[in-house]
Amino acid sequence: MEYSYPILPDWSTQEIVDVIKFFEGIENAYEKGIKREDMLARYRRFKEIVPSKSEEKTLFREFEEVSGYVSYQVIKKTKELENSQIVQMR
């Protein structure tokens, strides 16, 4: 897909890479599935970079507007699943 990921200008290069990996995990959950542990690790790193809930919601909304993927639903489903399962949105 051709769209821009939501990033903030004060992030380091590594933080930008890690946030992009998180949003790629969201894409994978919708397109082919992603291991629960992998998605949780990506989300934990995302939360280290974006600890504010309001900032998280803003970034999720911006990503949904350009991609159509709902990050909140992926995270909710990921937390509900048992260990070793695949997160697959349909």
Are the beta carbons of 1 and 28 closer than 8 angstroms?
no
pLDDT tens string for the chain (90 positions)?
Answer: 678 999 999 999 999 999 999 999 999 999 999 999 999 999 999 999 999 999 999 999 999 999 999 999 999 999 998 877 888 887
Under CATH, to which class is 13-85 assigned? mainly alpha
Strand locations in 1-90, DSSP E?
A: 34-35, 86-87
Q: Of 44, 36, 37, which Cα lies nearest the Cα of 89?
A: 36
Q: 74-88: buried (b, 16+ CB within 10 Å) or exposed (e) per residue?
A: bbebbeeeeeeeebe
Query: What pLDDT does 1 receive?
Result: 60
Separation between Cα atoms, residue 39 and residue 55, nearest integer Å: 19
Query: What pLDDT does 8 receive?
Result: 95
